[in-house]
Structure 1
Amino acid sequence: MTTCKIAHNFQAVPRALPAEITKAADAGFSWIADYFSNTSGAFSDAAVKDLTNLTLAHFYWNYPQIGFLYLQTLLLKQEENGSFSNGDLRETARAISCLSAAYSYLESNSSGLDNSDLLTARGNAVQYLLAHRADWGKNLYDTVYILPALADAGIFEEELSLDLCENDSPDRQHPGTTALILTALQKQKNLGKFTEAADFMIFEFISKKLNDLASVREDGFWKYTATSNLVLQAFVLCNQKHVATESLPWLADSQKENGSWENDLNTTSLSLLTL
C-alpha cells in the first residue's frame, strides 16, 4: 500500500480559545503531518487506536479533509466478520466509537453526503461485539472501551455498568484506569435508561471518583501526559469542565518545541483531543 502524504495546508475554522491553545494545536498537527510524511509506510500501518484518535482530533479541530484520510484507512482495516485487529474486542470498540462520532460530525457538517457506509461498518462491528458478549467482563480494559462503544451506538448495558461500580478494587485506582471507568459509566448514564436507584448509585460513584482524581493532581497533571489526557477528558464528559480547563496551560506548556507531546503519536493525538 502506498504511503499517504499529508500536506501542511492547515486552515482550521476559528475557535473561541486562548491563543496559546490554538497555537499548540497547530504545532501538534504540523508534527503529525511531518511524522507521516517522513516515515515510510507509517500512515497505512498505523494502529487502530492511533487512527481513531487521529480521525477524531482532525474532525474536532475542523480539518475534515485529513480526517477523511484516517477514517478511510480505518475502514479498510475492518475484517469480514466486522471486527478490527483480528477480532480484538477493545480495538473493535474503539473503532465503533470513532465511527459513531465521525458519522455525527459528517451528518452535522456535510449536508447531502451519503454516510451510510459508516453506519454499515459500525453496525457490523457492533454485531461482532454482541456475538462475543460472553467475553465482555473478562478484561477490565476491554470493558471500559466496550461500554462507551455500546453507548455511542445507542445500546444500553446495565449489568456491565453496575459491575464497574460494585466491584471496585485497589488495583483499579490508577488515575488513567479510573478515568476510563468514569468515561464508560457516564456515557451509559447519558442514555438515561438506568432505574432511579441505579442512576443515583452511579452518580455517587462518579462524584467520589472525580473528587479522588482531583485530590491526586500535582501541578496540573497526573504524572504521565497520556494519563492526564484521559483524566481531563473524563472531567469534561462528567460535566466538570472547569477542572479540565485549569490544567490546559500545563498541557500546552508540556508540548515539545517540535510540536509533539513526548515525540509520541498516541500521546500527541490524545493531547489534541483534550485541547
Structure 2
Amino acid sequence: MTTRQSPAIHVRGLEKSYKALRVLRGVDFDVQRGSIFALLGSNGAGKTTVVKILSTLLKADAGTASVNGFDVATQAADVRESISLTGQFAAVDEILTGRENLVLVARLRHLKNPRIIADELLDRFSLTEAATRKVSTYSGGMRRRLDIAMSLIGNPPVIFLDEPTTGLDPQARIEVWQAVKKLADQGTTVLLTTQYLDEAEQLADRIAILHEGRIIVNGTLTELKQLLPPAKVEYVEKQPTLEDVFFAIVGAPGKDAAANDRTVGADK
C-alpha cells in the first residue's frame, strides 16, 4: 500500500546487460516524494537504461524496482498511470500551435475540459503569449518547456526527465531549471538524469553518481562535499564568471519571459 512516508521510487539490485556488456551492475537508490533526485553520470554510464526500466520500457535482468508503490515488473500498467517521461529531445508537433499540442494530449488522455487544462499549463510555463504560434517558431527552451507541460497533463505524481537540457543554450537551460524547480515545489517527484555537474548542483535535493553501472555515491550536495578535505580559507578576489557576463548582457531569464517569448522566433 502506498503511503506518503514510503519513497516514490525504490530500486534494489538492478542489473541489465546487452550480451557481454554489463550496463547496470546492482543499482540501489530511493527517491522521496516531492523531491528532485539527480542521477549524475557520463555518457554510457547507464542513466537512460535506469529510466527505461523504471518507466516499463525495458525489463531488468535482476533486481527489483517500484514507482509510486507499484512494481515495475508485475504492475506495469499501474506504473504507467503514475508517471510521465520526457526524453532527451522534445516530443512536440511542430505543425501545431502550443495550445493545440496540449489540447491534443489532454483529449488522448480522455480528460474533461482540455482547453482549460491547456490554458492553465501555458500560464504555468510562461507560454501564454506564444500559445497560438506554431511550435516550429519556438526556441529550444520554449519547446522543452512545452514538452514538460505536456508531460504534466493528468497530474502524474512522478516525472522522469532524461537529460532535459541537452543541446540547449545557457538561457534556455536556466528556463528549464526554473520549470523543474516549480514541479517539485508543487509536490511532483522528479527523477532527473544529467551529465552536467552544475545542473545537478542547482536542482537536486539528492544526487547519486552512476559510474560503470554502479551507484558509487548517493547523498545531498552538502554530504557529497564533506567527502573532500576541508577547504582552506584564503582571500581571493572574486572575478565574474562567464555566466555572470552572459546574463549581464542578455538579461536574466524569468523576469520578462513573456516578452522574450514574443520575439524569440526572430532569430530562427
- Tell which has more relative contact order, 1 or 2 (C-alpha 8 A, sep 6+): 2
Answer yes or no: same fold by TM over 0.5.
no
Bigger helix share: 1
- Greater strand content: 2
- State the TM-score, normalized to the length of structure 1: 0.28
